[in-house]
Amino acid sequence: MAASELAQYVATGLLVGGVYALMSIGLALIFGVMRVVNFAQGDFMMLGMYLTYYYAVALHVDPLLGALLTLPPFFVLGLLVHRAFLVRVTGGGDPNREMDAQLILTLGLSLVITNATTMILSPMPRGINVPYASRAFAVGPLLLNQARAYAFLMALLLAAAVYVLLTRTDLGRALRAAADDPEAAGYQGIDVRRMHGMAFGIGIALVAAAGGLLATYHPIEPTVAVNFIVLMFVAVVLGGLGSIPGAFVGGIVIGLVQSLTLLLLPLQLQNVGVFVTFLLVLYVRPQGLFGRRARTV
């Protein structure tokens, strides 16, 4: 196999991985701050794809801009969902049992969103027609799909913005404090419950934007969530549950694994590579690449 072919697979994997990384950051932020594994994350991504689609169809907004415009409404939606449902099963009580309750609550939410979308918008797949989806940049011997390249750059930009938000602002410091030690954060005057809402809102907004970017080159349908939620879980576990830089790297790795699996296995088995990687990481290093092993006796 030519070196250029390998490079092509790596480049494709990186570009796709950038968008996975953005999705996974949202999931990791929610887990990091709230200790909630959000099964409905993929469904918010799907809704973000649809909103971007309607921006493009009804308002003629380019999906790359449309993806950004999903941020504010989905942030508000996240706040509302947190207030309406998640507060009831977060905070106080046995953390293990609580986590089970949250998992099942968000699984229920995911079912409702997927099926309600099917009911309202029909199961028919849709797509956004953008000219750059079928063009490619030629970089040396490599061909980079333009839609994927733009989506990759936007994803990096948003991820950098999240990094600045978390490290350089008061809100970011409060979020990190609430994540590290909710009790101590409470004593410092941080409204932990409000931080949970913020984390959920930001996490949902990020995954919706990632969905918008994905919509430039991926068909839009109500059941698209199933495939991506598992990829996000894999990325987040790979990076260490709750670690945001870890989730970013995890997302990139998943893109690479998916792409490079094609060298070894037929296309239908593409995701088997991802799942096997997932299981291997769990067995060998369950705390992930960046997580610290917590042991309490």
Partner 1 sequence: MARARGWLGIAAVVAVGLLLSFGLTERYHHRILTLVFLWAVMGLAWNIISGYAGQISFGHQAFFGIGAYVTVLLAVTLKLTPWLGMLAGAGVAVLAALLIGAPTFRLAGIYFGLATLAYPLIFRIVMDYLGYQEVAIPMVRDRPALFMQFTEPRSFDLLALALLAATLVLARLIETSRLGYSLRAIKENEQAALAMGVDAFRCKMAAYALSAAPAALAGAIYAHAILFVVTPDAVFGVIVIVQTLVVCLVGGVGTLWGPLIGAAIMIPVSEILDSTAGDRLPGIQGVVYGAALMAIMMFAPEGLFWRVRRGRGAAAPAAAGPPIAAAVSTEGSDAAARPAPAAGSGAVVLDVRGVSKAFLGLQALADVSFDARRDEILGIIGPNGAGKTTLFNVLNGFLLPEGGEIRWLGEPITGLSPHLVCRRGIGRTFQVVRFFPRLTVRENVMVGAFAHGGTPAAAAALAREALARVGLTERADTLPPGLTTLELRLMELARCLATAPRLVLLDEPLAGLSIDGIDIMSAMIRRVRAAGITVVIIEHTIQALVRIADRLVVLDQGRRLAEGAPGDVTRNPAVIEAYLGKRWLARHAPAHAADLRT
Binding track, positions 78-117, relative to partner 1; x by CB under 8 A: -------x--xx------x--xxxxxxx-xxxxxxxxxx-
Of 2 and 284, CB closest to partner 1: 284
Interface with partner 1 (CB under 8 A), residue from 230, 260, 262, 289: 230
Interface with partner 1 (CB under 8 A), residue from 75, 150, 233, 248: 233
For tokens 């990384």, the residue is 21
Of 8 and 287, CB closest to partner 1: 287
What CA–CA distance (Å, rounded) separates 112 from 120? 12
Of 5 and 100, CB closest to partner 1: 100
* 16 token code pair: 């796709």
Binding track, positions 252-281, relative to partner 1; x by CB under 8 A: --------------x-xx-xx--xx-xx--
- Residue 95 beta carbon to partner 1: minimum distance, rounded to whole angstroms: 9
State yes or no: residue 226 binds partner 1 (CB under 8 A): yes
What CA–CA distance (Å, rounded) separates 156 from 213? 12
Of 100 and 180, CB closest to partner 1: 100
Q: Which of residues 7-46 bind partner 1 (CB under 8 A)?
A: 37
All residues at 6 or more sequence positions from 185 whose CB lies less than 8 Å from its CB, including other chains = 174, 177, 178, 192, 195
State yes or no: residue 125 binds partner 1 (CB under 8 A): no
Number of residues that bind partner 1 (CB under 8 A): 44
- Residue 42 beta carbon to partner 1: minimum distance, rounded to whole angstroms: 11
State yes or no: residue 228 binds partner 1 (CB under 8 A): no
- Residue 80 beta carbon to partner 1: minimum distance, rounded to whole angstroms: 14
- Residue 10 beta carbon to partner 1: minimum distance, rounded to whole angstroms: 23
- In the complex, the residues that contact partner 1 under the rule CB under 8 A are 37, 85, 88-89, 96, 99-105, 107-116, 118-119, 123, 222, 226, 230, 233, 237, 241, 266, 268-269, 271-272, 275-276, 278-279, 282-283, 286, 297
